[in-house]
């Protein structure tokens, strides 16, 4: 990891792939990831960790399956949301968005429980950010 400031706009300009996060830096045992998203992800859950979302640009919808039933939250630029551990969720963005995520290092983008992963979703623990 670099010991220099990282401009998020520059980090996002280094790749075009959707649903394929890049690891910008690490904080203790957590990755700070950025991703470009568009269309639908996959229903999935992280059994042992919460998932933090920050929308840097655009709009992100997160569908949730909770005890009370299904609901969706809509996050606009600057909004944050935490999906509690064990909660099935499915992020999507109709017109595209740039997001930041905080997750324990090694956390899979498709969680511990997921439906079939479509070709446009990268099942990864994050990719190194290109200089």
Q: How far apart are CA 27 and CA 84, in angstroms?
A: 20
Position 128 in a domain: no
CATH number reported for the structural domain that contains residue 72 in this entry: 2.60.120.10
Q: pLDDT class for 5, splitting at 50, 70, 90?
A: very high
Position 115 in a domain: no
Summarize pLDDT for 28-65 with one digit per residue, the tens: 999 999 999 999 999 999 999 999 999 999 999 999 99
pLDDT over threshold 70, residue 1: no
Report which of residues 115 and 8 the model is more confident about: 8
Q: Which residues contact 26 (CB under 8 A, 6 or more apart)?
A: 1, 32, 105
Across the chain, mean pLDDT equals 93
Q: How far apart are CA 36 and CA 113, in angstroms?
A: 22
Q: For residue 39, what are its two tokens? A: 């269309």
Domain that holds residue 40: 8-107
* Number of structural domains found in the chain: 1
- pTM comes to 0.92
Position 130 in a domain: no
Q: How far apart are CA 27 and CA 91, in angstroms?
A: 24
Q: What are 78's strand-pairing partners?
A: none
């Amino acid at each position: 990891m670099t010991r220099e400031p990282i401009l998020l706009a520059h980090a996002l300009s280094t790749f075009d792939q959707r649903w394929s996060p890049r690891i910008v830096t690490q904080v203790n045992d957590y990755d700070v990831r950025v991703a470009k998203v568009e269309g639908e992800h996959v229903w999935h859950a992280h059994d042992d960790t919460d998932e933090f979302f920050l929308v840097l640009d655009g709009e992100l919808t997160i569908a949730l399956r909770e005890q009370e039933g299904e609901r969706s939250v809509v996050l606009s630029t600057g909004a944050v949301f935490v999906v509690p551990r064990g909660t099935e969720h499915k992020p999507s963005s109709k017109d595209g968005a740039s997001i930041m995520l905080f997750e324990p290092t090694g956390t899979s983008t498709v969680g511990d429980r997921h439906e079939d992963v479509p070709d446009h979703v990268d099942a990864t623990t994050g990719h190194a950010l290109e200089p």
